[in-house]
Structure 1
Amino acid sequence: MTILTPEMATALQDGKPRGMLVKIEHPSGTGYFATGVGKISWNGQTWLGTGKFGSVTPIKHTSDISVQDIAFSLSGIDPTVVAQLNDAVCNLSGQAWLFCLNDDGTVVRDPYQLIDSQLDYQKFDIDAEGKATISIIAHSGFYTLVRGSEEAWTPENQKLTYPTDTGLDMLYSLQNQDLQWTPT
């Protein structure tokens, strides 16, 4: 869980200019985007302002155990650029932070992380003017709890990760073992 630092809390209380930073891992290269125009430097990266062309919707924080879908979208893209993008985004990461700016235009230390999600798929739409919109759908929260695991508890799978571990070698003999469950 992300903690709101005193610096960020003070900046928010003081009404400092704020926005959102978004990091999207993508097979074609990690993208660093910010709300507004121009460029912002933070965490060793330059974040490109998307102005009115970028969006993240919806951001829901709930106490429900459920999968929350998030759409990271960027519009106004040349369709030739979209055609060159690799679309295998499944299981990559999408993150978003709330940031505030200091009086000198630098980012207040420790922006508040709003989203840490797992990307699922992307889709493209072309508008009447020939510009493309890319939307990457991600899942946050308990996404991994509702997905089936691709691993099995077998000695073979255990040895893929820990070659010298023999902890599951007796598993097959135990599954057919008759045990008496009465007090002795």
Structure 2
Amino acid sequence: MNRQVDANTVAAVTAGHVPFLFLVQLDFSLPLRVCSAPYDVEWNGYTWSGIGMLGNIEPIQEQGSLEATGVSLTLSGVPSELVAASLAEHYQGRGCQIWFAPLRADLQLAVQPIRLFFGRMDTMSTEVGETAVITIAAESRMVDWQRARARRYNNEDQQSRYPSDRGFEYVPQMVEKQLMWGR
């Protein structure tokens, strides 16, 4: 897949030494925004908590065909209040986004971060010891492409999606109706 990259981004990533960081957003009931820097970063109107070592982000792969891919990421050194929230909350199907951001020499954002992954959280494992480690597997939104859609051609299903539409209102009456043609 070709992506349009502006000249500033090309210059930032082709320099001799390119400091960078990853930004990760996990959409729990209160979104968790962390970055791989050892300090907090302001971007896009939010403060991204610097947890130092983000842990590990599995290589993100793109497919040229309509194929679902996923990613696994590990958060290490997670504060205990975030561990408690992650264990108590329903997270499956919630959003997961990962951005790559090249930095200037003063370790500030050089250009707008590039979104590498946009999908949904699937599974999570938590290891609590001296420090907490959370491993999250996320799946691409293309996984939904393979799921069957359960839609019905009846008034109730139509009303759930379009409350003011009356197109299927008389369908139940027409099911067993006998019509006389040609007389």
TM-score tier, shorter chain, comes to: 0.7 to 0.9
How far is 1:116 from its partner? 0.5
Equivalent pair of 1:21/1:33 in contact (CA under 8 Å)? yes
TM-score (norm 1): 0.77
Provide structure 2 residue ranges, at least 5 long, that are not aligned to the other structure: 178-183
- Structure 1 residues 162 and 32: alpha-carbon distance in aligned structure 2, compared to 1, 3 A threshold: same
How far is 1:176 from its partner? 8.6
Where 2:38 maps in the other structure, the secondary structure is coil
Q: Hey, what does 1:31 align to over in structure 2? A: 32
How far is 1:153 from its partner? 4.4
Match of 1:96 among 78, 95, 98: 98
Q: Hey, what does 1:20 align to over in structure 2? A: 22
How far is 1:108 from its partner? 2.6
The yes-or-no answer on 1:160 pairing with 2:140 is no
Q: Which amino acid aligns with 1:145?
A: W
Q: Return the structure number with greater relative CO, CA threshold 8 A, min gap 6.
A: 1
Tell me the number of residue pairs that the alignment of Structure 1 and Structure 2 aligns. Answer: 174
CA distance in 1, matches of 2:107, 2:76: 26
CA distance in 1, matches of 2:90, 2:133: 17
- Structure 1 residues 176 and 89: alpha-carbon distance in aligned structure 2, compared to 1, 3 A threshold: farther
CA deviations 1:101-139 (Å, max 9, x no partner) are 23443313321110011112322124xx54331122210
CA distance in 2, matches of 1:77, 1:24: 14
Q: Which amino acid aligns with 2:131?
A: K
Q: Which amino acid aligns with 2:22?
A: M
CA deviations 1:138-157 (Å, max 9, x no partner) are 10151111223354443212
How far is 1:20 from its partner? 1.3
Identity rate, percent: 23
Q: Which amino acid aligns with 2:120?
A: Q
CA distance in 2, matches of 1:147, 1:17: 40
Query: Which stretch has the larger CA shift, 160-169 or 133-142?
Result: 160-169
TM-score (norm 2): 0.77
CA distance in 2, matches of 1:109, 1:143: 31
Provide structure 1 residue ranges, at least 5 long, that are not aligned to the other structure: 178-184
Q: Hey, what does 1:123 align to over in structure 2? A: 125
> Considering only aligned residues, what root-mean-square deviation do their CA atoms show, in Å?
2.9
